[in-house]
Amino acid sequence: MKVTDAVVLSEVTAGYGRRTVLRGLSARLPRPGVTTVVGPNGSGKSTLLGVLTGIIRPAGGTVDLGGAGRIGYVAQRDAVSDALPITVREAVSMGRWASRGPWRRLTAYDRAVVETCMAALDLTPLAAHRLSTLSGGQRQRVLLAQGLAQEPDLLLLDEPMTGLDATAARQIAGVLDQERARGVTIVHVTHDPAAALRADHCLLLDGGRLLAEGPPATVLHRSDRPAG
């Protein structure tokens, strides 16, 4: 499979209001492939995902998504309120809103996609359960299934395996491997060195700047070295 540039960021500066977070960041993310984004808290990792989703508009620089038509985003499970009175199936079905629009009746194809995504993450037995009753690992699987239901070309994930038990983490890692094999470009933020090492490419951020990018083993070795 030929590897081409999926995403090219050139001198991207971005933040929130008057607060600048990313400062002149330039990077190239391979397609297809998995890119992990590592760095200390506050280094700009989540802001970078916001720029890639289009939620955050850069104050400077450019973002070329390399022709990615559909973008899927998987938030941290804590970002979903327990007050939402929805079932697992309803939560995954929301992933189809990207193509159908919110609250429109799903087609037979939409329903088939939802069922396939739930089955891939062993969620079918939980389909009628309220999201608020699930464990952390189950909820994270639901959010990933929702992201997959968007049938994305570019899948963005914010710390998808943080706090999960080994079984749930392996299951999610396996699904991401399958998506990569299908040609999906994946970018995920992580604090887990083992997860970062499984990727094809790695970005190391600190203070909103790119300190290193390249093979994960090389980048993680750089992150272990003392500053200066």
pLDDT tens string 149-182: 999 999 999 988 877 778 888 888 889 999 999 9
Task: Tell me what pLDDT residue 1 has.
Answer: 47
Task: Tell me what pLDDT residue 224 has.
Answer: 63
Separation CA 127–CA 27 (nearest Å): 40
80: pLDDT confidence band, cut at 50, 70 and 90? low
25: pLDDT confidence band, cut at 50, 70 and 90? very high
Class of domain 1-69+153-228: alpha beta
Task: Tell me what pLDDT residue 127 has.
Answer: 97
Does 119 have pLDDT greater than 60? yes
**34-72: pLDDT as tens digits:** 999 999 999 999 999 999 999 999 999 999 988 777 899
Does 79 have pLDDT greater than 90? no
For residue 87, give the nearest of 118, 110, 113 by alpha carbon.
118
Task: Tell me what pLDDT residue 173 has.
Answer: 87
Does 226 have pLDDT greater than 50? no
Does 227 have pLDDT greater than 90? no
Q: How far apart are the first and last CA of the chain?
A: 40
Q: Specify whether the CB–CB gap between 121 and 145 falls below 8 A.
A: yes
Task: Tell me what pLDDT residue 37 has.
Answer: 97
Separation CA 112–CA 29 (nearest Å): 31
- According to CATH, where is 3.40.50.300 located in the chain? 1-69+153-228
Neighbour tally for 119: CB within 10 Å: 12
Q: Specify whether the CB–CB gap between 144 and 121 falls below 8 A.
A: yes
**Between residues 104 and 151, the one the model is more confident about:** 151
**Between residues 136 and 64, the one the model is more confident about:** 64
Q: Which helix or strand (DSSP H or E) is residue 47 part of?
A: helix 45-53
11: pLDDT confidence band, cut at 50, 70 and 90? very high
Task: Tell me what pLDDT residue 163 has.
Answer: 73
Does 83 have pLDDT greater than 80? no
**Between residues 100 and 62, the one the model is more confident about:** 62
Q: In degrees rounded to 5, what are phi and psi of residue 57?
A: -90, 125
Separation CA 66–CA 5 (nearest Å): 7
Task: Tell me what pLDDT residue 147 has.
Answer: 94
The mean pLDDT value for 188-209 works out to 92
